[in-house]
Every structure is written in structure tokens, then in C-alpha cells.
Structure 1
Amino acid sequence: MKIGELAKLTGLSASRIRFYESAGLLHSVTRLPNGYRDYPPESASVLGIIDSAQRAGFSLEQIRPLLPIGDGRWNHEELLAALKVKVAEIEALQKRLKQSRTQLLVAIDSIERRPEGMACADNKRRVLDQLRGTGVVSGRRRPARAI
């Protein structure tokens, strides 16, 4: 199949398909006598894997072990290892995002509860103290203060 057909089938641009080919992710491409590329039908599946993996946050180098080798088989050990590493990266990112969300919610709450007539500089200190009190600024929880 020609690159235009493959692009239409996959929803990817022809330039992106050529890029994946030049990066060595798309194999089995032959050239017709007129110089046009001729892609086998399984190229659409491979491009689907590449596109999905990129949207999931994989780099091109991380995608290589996710692709079938030679005769369409996968290296199962490499595939599982790569997927497990990505899951761990996603979990670490989720933890950082949760911490960031918590910090933002504390800041929003502290700003919204600004005491009437408090100067901006004093409120800034109060908000930072609130953030430190929840442990989200320093990453460590401080002991509760006696009131």
C-alpha cells in the first residue's frame, strides 16, 4: 500500500510515517520501480502501536522493544520489562501530581480564607505557613502547633 493510503488508514501524516521509517521503527518497506514506498498491511498495526505508545508517554527508544521483531513475534521479556518500567514511571508521576494538587488546594484555601484587612505581605507569610504546616512545601510534616 502507498503512503497516502497508509496515512488515511492510520490517521497519521505521511511525514510522520516517513519519520518512523527513518527512525528504524517501521520495517519491511519496499520501493516500487517508480520510487514510491510500498507498505505491507501489517504496517498499520505497527503504526498503531507506535502512536498509542507515544500517547502513553513512551519515547521512541522505549517503543522499540514494544514492537514485533522480524517475523511478527514479540520479545516477551523485553516487552514486559518495558511495560513494567512505564507503569512505575506513571505511578511516580501520579504521586507527584497528587502532591502538587494537594499543595494547590491548600494554597487556594489559604488565599480564600484571608482575614479581613490583612496586608498582602502578611497574607503571603500566612499562606506559606499553611503550606509548610501541611508538609507540602518542605515535603516533611511539621509537628502540630499548640493553639
Structure 2
Amino acid sequence: MRIGELAKISGLAPSRIRFYESSGLIKSVERKANGYRDYAPDTKWVLEVITAAQAAGFSLEEIRQLMPMNASGWQHDELLSGLKQKVEEIAVLQQRLAHNKAQLLLVIKGIEDKPESMACAENAQMLINRLREEGIGKAPGKRAVR
């Protein structure tokens, strides 16, 4: 199938398909005498795997390492290991995001609870000091010891 048809059925721009081809994520195809690329029918499936993996947080390099060039070349153990590693990375990211959210909520509360008589700059300094005392601003698990 030609690149225009592949782009239409995959929902990807022809430039992205060419990029994946030049990056080695999909098989390079021979050009016909008229200069058109002729992609195998399973290329649509490969593109779907690539876009799903990207949506799940895999980099193109990670995808390149884990994905075979055809459906029969999967390396079960490597694939499973790579998927588990990505789940671990997501868990660490979730922990970091939860920590960041908690920090922001503390700051919001401190701003909302500012006494009427206190100047914003004074409240900001008080918040900064409070956050330092509580060890906020450091990576999770590295809070200051009281």
C-alpha cells in the first residue's frame, strides 16, 4: 500500500510515517519504478503498536529496543521486562506528582489563610520558612529531620 493510503487508515501524517521508517521503527520499503513506497499490510499494525507505546510513555528509543520488525519476532522476556520497567517508572512519577501536588496545596492553603492584616510579602516569607522547616521542596523520602 502507498504512503497516502497508509496515512489515511492509520491516522498519521505521511511525514510521521517517513520519520518512523528513517528511524528504523518500521521496515524500509523499496520504491517502485514510479518512486512510490509500497508498504506491507502489517505496517498499519506496527504503526498502531508504536503510537500506543508512545501514548503509554515509551520513548522512541525504548520502542525500537523492544519492538521487533515483524509480528513473529517478539522477544517475550525482553518485552515483559521492558513493560515492567515502564510500570515502575510510572509509579515513581506518580509519587513525585503526588508530592508536588501536596506542596502546591500547602502553598495554596497558606495563601488562602493569610491574615487580613498581614502583607503578602510577609505571608510569602512565612510560607517559605514553614516549607523549609517541614522539609518541603526536597524529593520524597528526604524530608528534614526534626
* TM-score, normalised via structure 1 length: 0.87
Does structure 1 residue 26 correspond to structure 2 residue 26? yes
Return 48-57 or 91-100, whichever deviates more: 48-57
Deviations 1:106-132 (A, max 9, x none): 000000000111122320122123323
- Deviation above 4 Å: which 4+ runs of structure 1? none
Question: What letter is aligned with 1:100?
Answer: N
**Which residue of structure 2 lines up, in the alignment, with residue 55 of structure 1?**
55
Q: Aligned Cα RMSD in Å? A: 1.8
CA distance in 2: counterparts of 1:42 and 1:70, whole angstroms: 8
Distance in structure 2 (CA, Å) of the matches to 1:124 and 1:7:
53
What is the one-letter code of the residue matched to 2:83?
A: L
Structure-1 separation of matches of 2:108 and 2:71: 56
Identity rate, percent: 53
Relative contact order (alpha carbons < 8 A, sep ≥ 6): 1 or 2 greater?
Answer: 2
- The answer as to whether partners of 1:29 and 1:38 remain within 8 angstroms in 2 is yes
Residues in 1 aligned to 2:72 and 2:8: alpha-carbon distance in whole angstroms: 23
Q: What's the CA shift for 1:28?
A: 5.6
* Preserved CA contact (<8 Å) 2:31 2:38: yes
1:46 maps to: 46
In 1, distance between residues paired with 2:58 and 2:102? 27
Contact 2:2/2:39 (CA < 8 Å) preserved in 1? yes
Once the two structures are superposed, what CA deviation does each residue of 1:91-147 show, in whole Å capped at 9, x if it has no partner? 11111101100000000000000011112232012212332354323441554xxxx
How do 1:1-147 and structure 2 match up within 5 A?
A: 1-27=1-27, 29-70=29-70, 72-138=72-138, 139-141=142-144, 143=146
Q: Deviations over 1:22-67 (max 9, x none)?
A: 0111016232221100001100010011111122221111001332
Q: Which structure 2 residue ranges, 5 or more long, are not aligned? A: none
Return the alpha-carbon distance in structure 1 between the equivalents of residues 30 and 45 of structure 2. Answer: 17
SS in 1 for 2:72: coil
TM-score normalised by the chain length of structure 2: 0.88
